[in-house]
Structure 1
Amino acid sequence: MSRSNRGDKLDPREVQIVHAITRTTRACYLLGDDPATGKNYDHRKRWVESLIERFAAQFAIDVLAYSVLSTHHHQMLRSRPDVVATWDNTEVARRWLMICPKRKDADGNPMAPTDPELDTIRNSPDRLSEIRLRLSDVSWWMRLLNQRVAQRANREDGASGRFFEDRFKGIPVIDDESVLACAVYVDLNWIRACMAETLELSDYTSAQRRIASLETEPKEPEIDRDLQSEASAESDAGEEASRQRLSDSFLAPVNLCEATAQPGPQPSGKHARCSDKGFLPISNAEYLELLDWSARQVVNGKSGKTPGHLPPILLRLGLSPTIWLELVADFDDLFTTMAGLPENIDQQRGKQTGRPFHVRKRTRELFAQAA
């Protein structure tokens, strides 16, 4: 079967959620502990994570979930052309020049663009229109991220040639059921790959970031400050660096807050992410509870005692435990071109070809069980 055309499914002019997967060439362990060479490349996982964090502050793309493993990485992204529309020409030019800077400082970080540099974009209507589109384009996000990781790895190895497969796989996620299943699937990757036993130990995942952020929230002191012993400056600096490293401020919030949130694009007042719009009709705590429950069921793989009641979101979505666990265990195999309920996928047509999208037989059978 020929590969599907990404342009037939993805459009930066539309708000879309996309599950993006990139694999290293020939599934080599180029992002982790390589059994073939005995070399360890775990530090490259941090490269990917750092770029996700940096891009989240500049692109008009929300990061919903991600995980970085030894042979591939997953990202669940939401394009936000509606947020781009709230930015003036200077802001559009500034953001692009922070992504692709003309100048860098001694540490390799992008330097703030000058007025002449900004003018190269904002004074050119065609160029400006092109950049506006790129800022909400998942393909450009993945292209630049993978390109920079590959170039840095090749420099480190003194090598050339392909580092990743020739292109990423992008699957639109089109309904609430699949958004929830996809997020859980992505966050559980370390556990499913037997790289971690718990969510908090799942390094380089959005799940770990969300959990760590909860654990480091400021708390009221339990004793008088005058009685507290002074911590060393080195210890304080280390703790602060740890808090910053594990911050989830660049991630989209979980809760849509449908009852209280203001309508519209909700651009973020922070500089760490595109918008403050959530992506699920549940709280962060409920999501982590469901994630933990799913992780224990999938990892153990045993017919142990199932909780007497499931998290309410499963009941609201009409998903049984059996169906839910297969969804989050085999998401990639069940959805190869588009993710959603079969009847919802059947209603979609290619943006360029007008053709329907293929739904696998097992996917139809699985959801038929819930009918």
Structure 2
Amino acid sequence: MDMPLPRYKQINVDVTSYYHCVSRCVRQSYLCGRDARTGIDYEHRRKWIQDRLHKLSQAFAIDLCAYAVMHNHIHVVLHIAKGKADRWSMDEVLLRWRHFYKCPPVVRHYLDGDYGDDLLPDTLHQLQQLAALYRSRLQSISWFMRMLNEYIARRANKEDNCKGYFWERRFRSQAILDEKALASVMAYVDLNPIRAKIAKSLESSKYTSIQYRLNAKRVNKTPKFLMPFKSQVNSKTKNVIPFELEDYITLLRNPLQTNKERPLATLPRLPSLVFERFGITRQNWQIVTSNFESLFTGPVGCPNAMTNFAKSCGRNCRPNVNNAIKYLS
């Protein structure tokens, strides 16, 4: 059995800010939906996950690009907003952290105003050290996933009146290295419920980012808890998904139309303008968005990007580079 790679070989913000993360329940436990063995319905837990994701995205310097809550696992596509947390004041960092954890007495007294104007140098130094620690955690994917999974595990175990692991100990993460890979993995995540036959359309895919986006679009709003597309904000906004929302929706609907209307072999050879803009054929898009996890087990992008990421992380191999050459070049 292969040993899992350490996080520093999976996450490198200097190379890419985008990551696909997956957490699975142990023992095939049900996160949500109706358990066929026991008949117990856990559907309400999907809302727990969505609410927690939204809350974490507001507090962390990490943006939600896409998510899907499935029966016994969850997918998220995250963007680390590099430098954002460094601009927060000490007070803002401490307040953000207090949303989730009971802070040490020195922090609680400070935020409650108990010290007034008589803040001693030693106390200030202690506060600054704690703020530096919390600041680093609030821009860490590992801490984001930890605070998601721990909360859900505790709540589910309490409801089930049991103890022990709810999730596999480690979440899986994939570095997403370029725009084509980002569009592909987001589509793979957003289409997950339809592939699993627990939803029939994008609009009916409950507890997914695409349903949330479409509901907001219907009332001419930008989703509050999701990273916007570049077409949704002004040019001064730094952190945006680097393609158009309408193009993305078109790309999502294509696999659905293909499956419903005609087999893959009869697709026209020339891609539409949307596919041309993304530099991918209609056929390759269909394959990648249907089989992303089986095609790619590690970092995903064009071969050159995969090579650069491997070197930067001290890795000697580029897993699935042949699939990248075949489908994403």
Q: Give the TM-score taking structure 2 as reference length.
A: 0.86
Q: Residues 252-289 of structure 1: CA distance to partner in whole angstroms, max 9, x if unpaired?
A: 1022689x612xxx4xxxxxxxxx7211222x222212
Report SS of the residue matched to 1:347: helix
| Residues in 1 aligned to 2:88 and 2:79: alpha-carbon distance in whole angstroms | 18
User: Would the alpha carbon gap of residues 198 and 121 (structure 1) be closer, same or farther in structure 2, given more than 3 Å must change?
Assistant: farther
1:188 aligns with 2:191: yes
- Asked whether the 8 Å contact 1:20–1:169 carries over to 2, the reply is yes
Q: Trace 1:159-238 onto structure 2 (pairs within 5 A).
A: 159-217=162-220
1:358 aligns with 2:314: no
User: Would the alpha carbon gap of residues 329 and 90 (structure 1) be closer, same or farther in structure 2, given more than 3 Å must change?
Assistant: same
Instruction: Give the corresponding residue for 2:107.
Output: none
| Residues in 1 aligned to 2:137 and 2:15: alpha-carbon distance in whole angstroms | 12
- Asked whether the 8 Å contact 2:267–2:283 carries over to 1, the reply is no
RMSD over aligned CA atoms reads 3.0
- Asked whether the 8 Å contact 2:69–2:75 carries over to 1, the reply is yes
Instruction: Give the corresponding residue for 1:114.
Output: 112
Report SS of the residue matched to 1:125: helix
| Residues in 2 aligned to 1:80 and 1:14: alpha-carbon distance in whole angstroms | 13
Amino acid at match of 2:200: E
Instruction: Give the corresponding residue for 2:303.
Output: 342
1:139 aligns with 2:100: no
Greater helix content = 2
| Residues in 1 aligned to 2:253 and 2:125: alpha-carbon distance in whole angstroms | 47
Structure 1 residue 31, shift from structure 2 partner: 2.0
User: Would the alpha carbon gap of residues 53 and 281 (structure 1) be closer, same or farther in structure 2, given more than 3 Å must change?
Assistant: same
- Asked whether the 8 Å contact 2:190–2:210 carries over to 1, the reply is yes
User: Would the alpha carbon gap of residues 174 and 144 (structure 1) be closer, same or farther in structure 2, given more than 3 Å must change?
Assistant: same
1:254 aligns with 2:229: yes
| Residues in 2 aligned to 1:365 and 1:146: alpha-carbon distance in whole angstroms | 35
- Asked whether the 8 Å contact 2:303–2:325 carries over to 1, the reply is no
Number of residue pairs matched?
A: 318
| Residues in 1 aligned to 2:287 and 2:69: alpha-carbon distance in whole angstroms | 22
Structure 1 residue 9, shift from structure 2 partner: 2.1
- Asked whether the 8 Å contact 1:334–1:362 carries over to 2, the reply is no
Structure 1 residue 124, shift from structure 2 partner: 2.7
- Asked whether the 8 Å contact 2:31–2:70 carries over to 1, the reply is no
Question: Structure 1 unaligned runs (5+)?
Answer: 104-112, 219-246, 267-275
Instruction: Give the corresponding residue for 1:106.
Output: none
Instruction: Give the corresponding residue for 2:38.
Output: 37
**Equivalent residue for 1:297, pick from 245, 250, 258:** 258
1:322 aligns with 2:323: no
- Asked whether the 8 Å contact 2:66–2:186 carries over to 1, the reply is yes
- Asked whether the 8 Å contact 2:23–2:167 carries over to 1, the reply is yes
| Residues in 1 aligned to 2:298 and 2:170: alpha-carbon distance in whole angstroms | 15
Structure 1 residue 361, shift from structure 2 partner: 6.1
Structure 1 residue 83, shift from structure 2 partner: 0.9
Amino acid at match of 2:203: E
| Residues in 2 aligned to 1:136 and 1:157: alpha-carbon distance in whole angstroms | 32
Structure 1 residue 16, shift from structure 2 partner: 1.2
Instruction: Give the corresponding residue for 1:153.
Output: 156
Instruction: Give the corresponding residue for 2:243.
Output: 281
| Residues in 1 aligned to 2:232 and 2:125: alpha-carbon distance in whole angstroms | 36
Amino acid at match of 2:21: A
- Asked whether the 8 Å contact 1:65–1:76 carries over to 2, the reply is yes
Structure 1 residue 178, shift from structure 2 partner: 0.3
Instruction: Give the corresponding residue for 2:47.
Output: 46
- Asked whether the 8 Å contact 1:67–1:204 carries over to 2, the reply is yes
Report SS of the residue matched to 1:202: coil
User: Would the alpha carbon gap of residues 131 and 191 (structure 1) be closer, same or farther in structure 2, given more than 3 Å must change?
Assistant: same
- Asked whether the 8 Å contact 2:145–2:171 carries over to 1, the reply is yes
Q: Residues 108-150 of structure 1: CA distance to partner in whole angstroms, max 9, x if unpaired?
A: xxxxx53459x98984333221111111101101001100000
Report SS of the residue matched to 2:59: coil
Structure 1 residue 56, shift from structure 2 partner: 1.2
Q: Trace 1:73-152 onto structure 2 (pairs within 5 A).
A: 73-101=74-102, 114-115=112-113, 123-152=126-155
| Residues in 1 aligned to 2:212 and 2:318: alpha-carbon distance in whole angstroms | 35
Structure 1 residue 330, shift from structure 2 partner: 1.0
| Residues in 2 aligned to 1:14 and 1:84: alpha-carbon distance in whole angstroms | 18
| Residues in 2 aligned to 1:101 and 1:296: alpha-carbon distance in whole angstroms | 50
Structure 1 residue 358, shift from structure 2 partner: 2.8
